[in-house]
Structure 1
């Protein structure tokens, strides 16, 4: 686990359910709350617990349309996860083969942050809590 400390409910539609399930549970270390096959929709729904009481939901649908995922694209900018130590979390992700950008410092808050991507290219930010 990389030390995520909190997030509120976020729902993501993924292109490859099994690949994303492995990434969010094994690479990021999130625990499964529930997993449901919604046969009438040809869709899986995976509820994941995020430390601090948050929840992340993964949905699969047949042939979901693509969405721009660059941090500056219109729409969802990125998913930010709180961690105590950005450098430590970065090192743990890199040890698992995840490409992570160099750590930067937020000019407004003075806190460290960095970005990496999930299997569908969704930008995920690690942001220092203190």
Structure 2
């Protein structure tokens, strides 16, 4: 029986490349693994790592159409990051003027989590380990 080895990466198309690059590197602390400008597409491709592991491809394209992401639209629902201390993570978001929803408790695990949005309003979750 075939089973994938794991998730290789998540691809995100942004509306403002520099703004999103700043958000993912400075707010979420990801590291730039590679950055390429593709002239034929008028598109940037930014490979981002988290703790040494490649996780996100950030793309820019001229005038990408908006995608419905809330409420509960069909498709990828959100991107979740595990954090060790949710209170510390929330203070970090506040320092970067990123608003988060009120903290919730997972009814099955008892763990705390919250949602916030990237610069294109894509839903991101911090889930406390």
Normalising to structure 1: TM-score of the pair?
A: 0.89
Count of aligned pairs: 123
Task: Give the alignment of 1:1-130 within 5 angstroms.
Answer: 9-51=9-51, 53-70=53-70, 72-129=72-129
Moved more, 70-79 or 31-40: 70-79
Residue 85 of structure 1 contacts residue 128 of structure 1 at CA under 8 Å; is this kept in 2? yes
CA offset at residue 8 of structure 1?
5.1
Change (3 A) 1:29 1:104: same
Residue 103 of structure 2 contacts residue 113 of structure 2 at CA under 8 Å; is this kept in 1? yes
Alpha carbon RMSD of aligned pairs, Å? 1.4
C-alpha distance in 2, partners of 1:87/1:74?
Answer: 31
Normalising to structure 2: TM-score of the pair?
A: 0.90
Moved more, 79-88 or 44-53: 44-53
Residue 71 of structure 1 contacts residue 77 of structure 1 at CA under 8 Å; is this kept in 2? no
Q: Which runs of 4+ in 1 moved over 4 A?
A: none
Residue 99 of structure 1 contacts residue 116 of structure 1 at CA under 8 Å; is this kept in 2? yes
